[in-house]
Structure 1
Amino acid sequence: MPTSSETLELLDAIADEMVSEFGISRAEAVARINEQWHGQDLSDEDSLILHEEEHYWAFVIHYGGNVPDWSPGADRSTWAPKPPPAAGSGFWTVPD
């Protein structure tokens, strides 16, 4: 997808946040990000995704938009993450 340098920086920070917050591989984080925004043009400097920080997007992407509690110490033991994209989906662009 087309990105601006600022958007690309945010996407990289989102992947880092997903790896540290959820313990998933970078490859899975990138695949989830690719699935989230495939087919969209993120090259505009006023892109909507730039209006939120990486923590927000990491949770939205990982839990499929269903984030019941944004508190830092929230008990996530019963939260179900959205399944990662299928292996042959084309979203997996980074090796494990």
Structure 2
Amino acid sequence: MLINFKFEIDEESYEFCCEIVNKMIELFYISHEEATSRVNSQWEGQIIKGYECMVFHEDEEYWDNAIYYTDDSYWWMPEMQDRLKIKAYNPEKGRY
């Protein structure tokens, strides 16, 4: 399935972003549409190209969590796992 991202990407970045979408579906049991919308909301209008891009300084798992949970959730800390907060998602707008 071809994903329409709302930011400028090259082939390598496209594959990386597709992996983020697919992993979000697997980890959080969300729809393909929601995962794609969350990724688009994160980087809409930006240029995500080349390995020097800051996006590539982290792996897919980092981005899955950073995009899905609020900034104050501290999802990377084991003791915070019972206090995670999900970013609100508005399916009518396709955004969180």
Same fold at TM > 0.5: yes
- What does the per-residue CA deviation read over 1:24-56, in whole Å, with 9 as the maximum and x for residues that have no partner? 011100000000001101124421101111100
**If the length of structure 2 is used for normalisation, what is the TM-score?**
0.77
Aligned positions of 1:54-73 closer than 5 A: 54-70=60-76
Task: Kindly tell me the number of residue pairs found equivalent between the two proteins.
Answer: 89
One-letter amino acid of the structure 2 residue matched with residue 87 of structure 1 = E
- Name segments (4+ residues, structure 1) moved above 3 Å: 73-78
Task: Tell me the residue number matched to 1:52.
Answer: 58
Cα shift at 1:19: 0.5
Task: Tell me the residue number matched to 1:94.
Answer: none
One-letter amino acid of the structure 1 residue matched with residue 83 of structure 2 = T
**If the length of structure 1 is used for normalisation, what is the TM-score?**
0.77
Among 18, 33, 45, the alignment partner of 1:39 is: 45
One-letter amino acid of the structure 2 residue matched with residue 88 of structure 1 = K
- In the alignment, structure 1 segments of 5+ residues that lack a partner are 92-96
Structure 1 vs Structure 2 CA RMSD: 2.1
Contact persistence 1:7–1:43 (CA under 8 A): yes
Percent identity reads 27
Q: How many Å separate the matches in 2 of 1:7 and 1:51? A: 12
